[in-house]
Amino acid sequence: MLDLKFIRENVEQVKKGIQAKNAHVDLDELLNLDKKRRDMIQKADNLKAVRNKASDEIAQLKKNKLDAYSVIERMKNVSAEIKNLDDSLRRVESEIYEIQIRIPNIPHASVPIGPDESHNQLVREWGEKKLFGFEPKPHWELGDLHGILDLDRAARLSGSNFTAFKGAGARLVRGLINFMIDLHVQKHGYEEVWVPFVVRPEIMFGTSQLPKMEEDMYKVEKDDLYLIPTAEVPVTNLHREEILNAEQLPIRYVAYTPCFRREAGSYGADTRGLMRVHQFDKVEMVQLVRPEDSYQALETLVGHAEDVLKLLKLPYRVLSLASGDISFGAAKCYDLEVWASGLNRWLEVSSCSNYEGFQARRMNLRFRREEGGKTEFIHTLNGSGLALPRTIIAIMENYQLDDGRIEVPEVLRDEVGLDIIG
């Protein structure tokens, strides 16, 4: 959430940011309400000063055994006016808040400006696309061939766009999760956490999924809880409403969770196989850092996600997302896309974002540089390290052999307990 004072003092910058993110917010209405609010506060303060002075006058009159009736009656009217102003002020502040929470974060100056993904910029590529002496199969055919991916039975359980892995497929999922968690803990210095998979609405608000993305979320209506769309939500909120010491920063957490997304409005688009599913597994990295360190931390975070793909020997590319393709709360975002030979296309497996102080303000997450010093909002970052469905697609399709069998990447063989699937 953007600070109201910042909005007031940087109107044109905020308007350009709203436009760059394809958002629709009536900033002029917000500013008009803010002026009205400040005028009401000033008027109420003036009346309270009059009331305070009258209280002293009444006390003095009573002390001198003089009649204070007229002053008391006059102050009854002043008190009623103050109450009406306070009531109106609460209503105006509520209106301001409802507009304020719908203002997206402003894109960082280094972000490419453009309305959609066609304006994303290629940062770098790594690895060579494998050349096959045969027509590579898509992952759903390979999954059927070896009985490791059972989409039909998953659909009977939960409906379309859910998945079930069996045998070597299930071992591949579990091995991949263990490999990624161990890499981030042992090499990259993250602390592993295990968090709830359902959260309260204010937790979703804290990381800016609510109110904008509500229709994409699964909700447990009876308990007013949401199934998490990513581990970012509970992990980033672990320190909500806390004031940390500067010495505690940076904090690096990594967590595995299932993720639940309704994908509202996406039906019929990229829904075959594992391409777009409602429940999937993901390993997520979260960092809490000092403001001056956040953009270097973003580059480091991207490197940690890249390490996974390098060790798996999967060709990938890094994109700097355009302003219109960045999430509501992010100031800057990189996507990592892996090459899938069977589909003959790039697939997103990680988004790494810097939210600056946007999420922290919504969570009231602050720190002090020194004892007794003023508080500042922490900068929050997160990135997939990695999302499993499309990583598994890339492994299956890039490591397939001419007879349909699938090699297991060397770095996963001890975890999976297999060299070859099939």
Same domain, residue pair 373 and 264? yes
Same domain, residue pair 264 and 360? yes
Same domain, residue pair 157 and 273? yes
Contact 173, 388 (CB under 8 A): yes
Q: In the structure, what pLDDT confidence band is assigned to residue 151 with cuts at 50, 70 and 90? A: very high
Same domain, residue pair 269 and 143? yes
The pLDDT of 125-151, averaged and rounded, is 95
Q: With respect to residue 109, please indicate whether it lies within any of the assigned structural domains.
A: no
HSE-up of 227 (CA within 13 Å, CB side)? 15
Residue 399 pLDDT: 98
The pLDDT of 160-168, averaged and rounded, is 95
Q: What radius of gyration do the chain's Cα atoms show?
A: 27
Secondary structure tally for the chain: helices H, strands E: 13, 16
The pLDDT of 11-20, averaged and rounded, is 96
Q: With respect to residue 404, please indicate whether it lies within any of the assigned structural domains.
A: yes
Instruction: For residue 81, indicate whether it is catalytic.
Output: no
Domain count, the chain: 2
Same domain, residue pair 90 and 146? no
Identified catalytic residue from 294, 323, 327, 351 = 351
How is residue 170 written in tokens? 């299930």
Same domain, residue pair 94 and 165? no
398 sits in which H/E element: helix 388-398
Q: With respect to residue 249, please indicate whether it lies within any of the assigned structural domains.
A: yes
Mean residue pLDDT of the chain comes to: 94
Q: Which of 69, 100, 131 is the last residue of a domain?
A: 100
Q: Write the DSSP string, 142-174.
A: HHHHHT-B-HHHHHHHH-TT---B-THHHHHHH
Q: With respect to residue 271, please indicate whether it lies within any of the assigned structural domains.
A: yes
pLDDT tens string 306-323 = 999 999 999 999 999 999
Residue 406 pLDDT: 97
How far apart, in whole angstroms, are the C-alpha atoms of residue 84 and residue 40? 10
Same domain, residue pair 59 and 143? no
Same domain, residue pair 78 and 145? no
Identified catalytic residue from 93, 348, 376, 407 = 348
Same domain, residue pair 155 and 200? yes
Contact 325, 117 (CB under 8 A): yes
Examine the pLDDT at 389 and tell me if it is beyond 60. yes
pLDDT tens string 108-127 = 999 999 999 999 999 999 99
Examine the pLDDT at 51 and tell me if it is beyond 90. no
Among 3-7, 50-54, 71-75, 291-295, which stretch is predicted with the lowest mean pLDDT?
Answer: 71-75
Identified catalytic residue from 261, 341, 397, 415 = 261
The pLDDT of 46-72, averaged and rounded, is 75
Q: With respect to residue 105, please indicate whether it lies within any of the assigned structural domains.
A: no
Burial (CB count within 10 angstroms: exposed 0-12, middle 13-18, buried 19+), residue 76: exposed
**Residues listed for the chain:** 422
Q: Which of 157, 163, 412 is nearest to 281 (CA)?
A: 163
Instruction: For residue 240, indicate whether it is catalytic.
Output: no
Instruction: For residue 171, indicate whether it is catalytic.
Output: no
Q: Is 89 helix (H, G, I), strand (E, B) or coil?
A: helix
How far apart, in whole angstroms, are the C-alpha atoms of residue 392 and residue 408? 11
Q: Which residues pair with 421 in a beta bridge?
A: 406
CATH code, 252 = 3.30.930.10
CATH code, 82 = 1.10.287.40
Instruction: For residue 351, indicate whether it is catalytic.
Output: yes
Same domain, residue pair 88 and 134? no
Residue 71 pLDDT: 67
Residue 269 pLDDT: 58
Q: Of 54 and 47, which is predicted with more confidence?
A: 47
Same domain, residue pair 54 and 170? no
Which structural domain, as residue segments, surrounds residue 372? 117-421
Phi, psi torsion values for 196, nearest 5 degrees:
-60, 150
Identified catalytic residue from 171, 276, 362, 366 = 276
How far apart, in whole angstroms, are the C-alpha atoms of residue 23 and residue 31? 17
Q: Which of 54, 74, 100 is the last residue of a domain?
A: 100
pLDDT tens string 358-383 = 999 999 999 999 998 999 999 999 99
Sorted by sequence, the CB contacts under 8 Å of residue 369 that are 6+ apart come out as 246, 376
Contact 361, 402 (CB under 8 A): no
> Rounded to the nearest 5 degrees, what angle is found at the Cα of 306, between the Cα atoms of 302 and 308?
130
pLDDT tens string 92-101 = 999 999 999 9
Residue 75 pLDDT: 73
Q: With respect to residue 376, please indicate whether it lies within any of the assigned structural domains.
A: yes
How far apart, in whole angstroms, are the C-alpha atoms of residue 50 and residue 73? 14
Residue 70 pLDDT: 74
Q: In the structure, what pLDDT confidence band is assigned to residue 54 with cuts at 50, 70 and 90? A: confident
Phi, psi torsion values for 147, nearest 5 degrees:
65, 30
Q: With respect to residue 106, please indicate whether it lies within any of the assigned structural domains.
A: no
Q: In the structure, what pLDDT confidence band is assigned to residue 354 with cuts at 50, 70 and 90? A: very high
Instruction: For residue 390, indicate whether it is catalytic.
Output: yes
Q: Which of 385, 297, 281, 381 is nearest to 331 (CA)?
A: 381
The β-bridge relationship of strands 191-192 and 332-340 is unpaired
Q: Which of 53, 73, 100 is the last residue of a domain?
A: 100
Q: In the structure, what pLDDT confidence band is assigned to residue 178 with cuts at 50, 70 and 90? A: very high
Examine the pLDDT at 57 and tell me if it is beyond 80. no
Same domain, residue pair 71 and 154? no
pLDDT tens string 251-304 = 999 999 999 999 765 555 577 899 999 999 999 999 999 999 999 999 999 999
How many C-beta atoms surround the C-beta of residue 99 within 10 A?
A: 17
**Which amino acid, one-letter code, is at 121?**
Q
Q: With respect to residue 112, please indicate whether it lies within any of the assigned structural domains.
A: no
Residue 58 pLDDT: 77
How far apart, in whole angstroms, are the C-alpha atoms of residue 168 and residue 170? 5
How far apart, in whole angstroms, are the C-alpha atoms of residue 258 and residue 279? 7
